[in-house]
Amino acid sequence: MSLFLLNDIVVFLFIEIILFVLMFISEFSVLRVIKHWDFNASTTFQYSLEKRNYLINTIIYFTVSVKLVIFVFFVKSLDELSPLVPGAMCATGVVGANSYGNILLLFKIFILFLLGIWIIINKLDLDSKVFPYINEKYYLFSFIFVLICIEMVLEILYFLNIPLSVPVFCCSTVFKLDNLPFELNTLGLILIYYALFIVITLSSYYKNNLISLFANMLFLFTSYYSVTYFFGTYIYEVPNHQCPYCMLQKEYHYIGYFVWFSLFLGVFFGISPYVIESIISKKYHLLHKYCIFFTTFFVLLCTYFVLSYYLRNGVLL
Amino acid sequence: MTSKILIRNLYKIYNEEKENQFFALKDINIEINNGEIVIIKGVSGSGKSTLLALIGALSKPSRGDILVENQNIAKLPDIFSSQYRNEEVGFIFQSFNLIDGLSVYDNVKAPLVLKNIKQSELSEKVEEALKLANISHKSEQMVSNLSGGEKQRCAIARALVHAPSVILADEPTANLDRDNSLLFLEILKKFKELNKTVIVATHDVIFDNLTVADKYINIQDGVVL
Amino acid sequence: MVNKNFIDFSVVLLVKDKKEYLFSFFIFTFIVFLASSVLFISDSLKHDLHLALEKQHQIIVTNTKAGKPALLSTEHVDSILQITGVDNVIGKVDGYYNFSQDRRYFHIVVDDSLDNNSMIISSEIKSILKKFHYNDEFNFLTENGIISLKITKVMDSNIISNDVVLVNTDVARKILDMYEDEYSYLDVSVPNNNEVDFIALKIVDLYPSLKVKTKNDQQSDYEHIYYYKGGIFMILYIVSMISFFILLKNQISSVFGEKKREIAILRSIGFAIKDIIHLKFIQNSIVALCSYFLGLFLAYTFVFIFDAPLLKNIFLGNDFNHITFTPSLDIRTLFLLFIFTVIPFLASILLPAWKIATEDMSEVVK
């Protein structure tokens, strides 16, 4: 009996296949447009290409919305799967059940990020009257489509290879690191964390795209470790419980979703101005305020748990 | 007077560069000023309906420019051409083009639902338009129950409700009896009062020699005479 | 732009055209109904199984001899009690009585609150006995003679209790022909959850012929069984849904002609292509949501009020004619159903909506 027949998995893969088919249809139109687009031509053919543009837009808006919902559903399903996979007590065991799990998760986040960028560029393209970014837009789309093909393959490989009889590792084993990277101790890590936060706020306030890009990327990396090895322990109130996934569970009031999503959104809005600028070869300075908003929310949320524990117990873990 | 509508070297060609190439419009050059009432005369198939459709951005030209207050609407992407139609243009069609199954009120309010205005403001505008077109008493009626003249007045209300600056009427009297046709001429006077730029495409002789008309343009076989 | 006025107008147009949406509405409701019923049934079964599992002790020990099930003795009980970490070992009597007249096995379970002449049976068993004219009492045929018991109570049949007969320990021993010091299985309680697996190994070390099942194993087993069946049904739905959507597409194309003109009229008054697509999307979302809720409601009534006739036989086989399903609604299931039905429905209207929105407008000027 394979995991494939689980309700959740069947539904999940069904929806992913539908989205894949929709994107596949779009890709045909995209290739056509890239090949023949000529805004200055007044032929019926050119006008039909413009109409195809709207089809692709519609499909992508629909796909992005559904992909977001499905992503949350995916993460939740991983959590729900843990009783079935021997040895797993939370999503860690399920994700780590085979070598495809972590890559798949990262892929999904990356694809969502690129789709977000695509939507912003699309809005810019439509707002002007001459479709200036049509080529950039569609090359980006084709790239995303290739990634989605790979994602589909990864998904199937992942679900096919989840062992149901061999125990997997639980978070207590997986996240038991003696050293943090670069031989940092926890204090050093947290200092860098807050320092980066200040850099991000400043660079967003002064609208410096490049610094914002680097600061956010470093922040993403740092936050992953900070949340897993420091802030997480204050959410669980157990010094050795170091796990990024357990906080998604009901017993912690699903706070994990807020923590990770605010981080991802903040980083997205911090990184996108530079990426968009380099794609459209024009200055772009919007979205910085969203970066500040979400990153601040994230940092406040993490800090709250530490403070709340300290205020209640008088000591830190 | 500033030119409201400026048409330069306008062509509409069907099946371009094919054997059965057909020139619906050939090198049209027209200038229309703000507040003018223009009658375009020509027989069926002369291209006047095509011209009107192009001015209203219902279709795109093969060559040439159409400048409306210095904005070239010829090659606007759909979002902008729709916005242009929703804000600047009111259509009156020969077959009325009302939505069956809806009431007069709902038909007239249709152009306004795209705007983000309050419900009360919307009702106000609809009622005003119904009054102008003299059809308020039939506001709750289904359009399928209206007579020809009443349908025309409903179409006129709809063309006025969003306060466009340009009214395009394509053969407005073709499906009306004589009395209602004469009523339409009265409406033209009202349009003049409201300072609308009106273009009527017709081959009906009652539009000949009108005092209220500012310009007459004759079209034959896609060319202005 | 989508605003309140726009949504109202979409609804007005939807109501005007309700006949055209009726076909898809009914079929979609039916699909939701079927999928929901299956999920409700399997959820309810899982729920009951979990409840039963709660009462169980951590480890259940059974014996085998030459690979076949065998009985346990007090010696086993005493030895296992010696293992550190084991809090208590209770020997239980449990077994199956072969009711050869109907070729059915009755599950004999102990309830010591009963006296030596009474038994409690499930409604399923009641109906079986009734067939053979046993209305108030029943005779168990054993090698030691006939044991006659009065039926004092009939309980609801759920997935666990379907074939259960409750009697006290002495009567059970007599029916199953077991001696005073024989047990069918042992309930071992281990207070520290982390030691369960370790103790299980120790027991098998002591007596290699014993089979030890932990609560966790049991839970996994139950989940596997019901997940498996549910999944098969899901795949059947996908197939039926795809055929439905093909039908739907044909439906839509047939209506094209009249619709074209209406859309062209809307376009002429300023509706952009994206506005038309939004319009169609809103209308179809409303239809999908109404179908979804109606389908859910019908499924709930069907499964939990009428106990799912026909469907339960497909799911469980013919031995479960009198089963009742305990109502259990789970947000997860509702969400799963929503994703499974509404999203594909909306995905299928994207292309037709676009097609109709991008039709040429010059129709309207004729």
pLDDT digits (tens, 9 = 90+) for A89-137: 777 878 877 888 888 988 999 999 999 999 999 988 888 878 888 888 8
pLDDT attached to residue C223: 66
List chains adjacent to chain C, taking adjacency as at least 3 C-beta pairs closer than 8 Å: A, B
pLDDT digits (tens, 9 = 90+) for C61-76: 888 888 888 888 888 8
Mean pLDDT of C135-142: 85
Contact status of B2 with chain C (Cβ, < 8 Å) = no
Task: Give the mean pLDDT of chain A.
Answer: 85
Q: How many helices (H) and strands (E) does chain A have?
A: 11, 0
What band does C232 get if pLDDT is binned at 50, 70 and 90?
low
What band does A16 get if pLDDT is binned at 50, 70 and 90?
very high
pLDDT attached to residue C229: 63
What band does B128 get if pLDDT is binned at 50, 70 and 90?
very high
Is B53–C365 a contact, with Cβ atoms under 8 angstroms apart? yes
Mean pLDDT of C309-331: 73
Mean pLDDT of B19-25: 86
Which of B93-102, C18-27, C209-218, C317-326 reaches the highest mean pLDDT?
B93-102
pLDDT attached to residue C180: 86
pLDDT-wise least confident of B148-157, C64-73, C260-269, C287-296: C64-73
C268 closest CB neighbour out of B58, B109, B112: B58
C231 closest CB neighbour out of A7, A25, A86: A7
Task: Give the mean pLDDT of chain C.
Answer: 82
ipTM score for this prediction: 0.91
pLDDT attached to residue C261: 84
C296, two tokens: 């859910």
pLDDT at C334 over 50: yes
Greatest CA separation found in chain A? 76
In the stretch 194-253 of chain C, residues with CB closer than 8 A to chain A read 219-220, 223-224, 227-228, 230-232, 234-235, 238
Task: Please give the model's pTM, rounded to 2 decimal places.
Answer: 0.83
pLDDT digits (tens, 9 = 90+) for C31-54: 888 888 888 887 887 787 777 777
C224 closest CB neighbour out of A1, A57, A70: A1
pLDDT digits (tens, 9 = 90+) for A70-79: 998 888 888 8
Domain map of chain C by residue range? Answer: 4-52+221-365, 58-215
Q: What's the burial of A99, exposed, middle or buried (CB within 10 Å: 0-12/13-18/19+)?
A: exposed
pLDDT attached to residue C89: 85
pLDDT attached to residue C349: 86
pLDDT attached to residue C315: 67
Contact status of C39 with chain A (Cβ, < 8 Å) = yes
Query: What is d(CA B93, CA A231) in angstroms, rounded to the nearest whole number?
Result: 68
Taking CB atoms and an 8 Å cutoff, what residues of chain C touch A5?
227-228, 230-232, 234-235
Total tally of structural domains belonging to chain B:
1
Q: Return phi, psi of residue A38, to 5°.
A: -150, 100
Domain of B176: which CATH number? 3.40.50.300
Query: What is d(CA A133, CA A128) in angstroms, rounded to the nearest whole number?
Result: 9
pLDDT digits (tens, 9 = 90+) for C75-98: 888 888 888 888 888 888 888 888
The answer to whether residue B25 is domain-embedded is no
pLDDT attached to residue C336: 87
Mean pLDDT of C115-136: 86
3-state secondary structure of C133: coil
Query: What is d(CA C322, CA C308) in angstroms, rounded to the nearest whole number?
Result: 10
pLDDT attached to residue A1: 43
Taking CB atoms and an 8 Å cutoff, what residues of chain B touch C5?
109, 112-117, 119, 122
pLDDT at A250 over 70: yes
List chains adjacent to chain B, taking adjacency as at least 3 C-beta pairs closer than 8 Å: A, C
Q: Looking at the DSSP assignment, which residues form a beta bridge with residue B167? A: B90, B198
Q: Identify the closest residue of chain A to B81 by CA–CA distance.
A: A129
3-state secondary structure of C309: coil
Rounded to a whole number of angstroms, the distance from the CA of C285 to the nearest CA of chain B is 19
Domain boundaries, position B133? 36-60+77-224
Mean pLDDT of B102-117: 93
pLDDT at A6 over 80: no
pLDDT at C264 over 80: yes
Query: What is d(CA A282, CA A278) in angstroms, rounded to the nearest whole number?
Result: 7
Q: Return phi, psi of residue B7, to 5°.
A: -110, 125
Q: Identify the closest residue of chain C to B112 by CA–CA distance.
A: C5
Domain map of chain A by residue range? Answer: 3-160, 175-313
The answer to whether residue B7 is domain-embedded is no
Query: What is d(CA A244, CA A257) in angstroms, rounded to the nearest whole number?
Result: 10
Is A42–B61 a contact, with Cβ atoms under 8 angstroms apart? yes
B190, two tokens: 């009202």
Taking CB atoms and an 8 Å cutoff, what residues of chain C touch B97?
261, 265, 268, 364
Contact status of B1 with chain A (Cβ, < 8 Å) = no
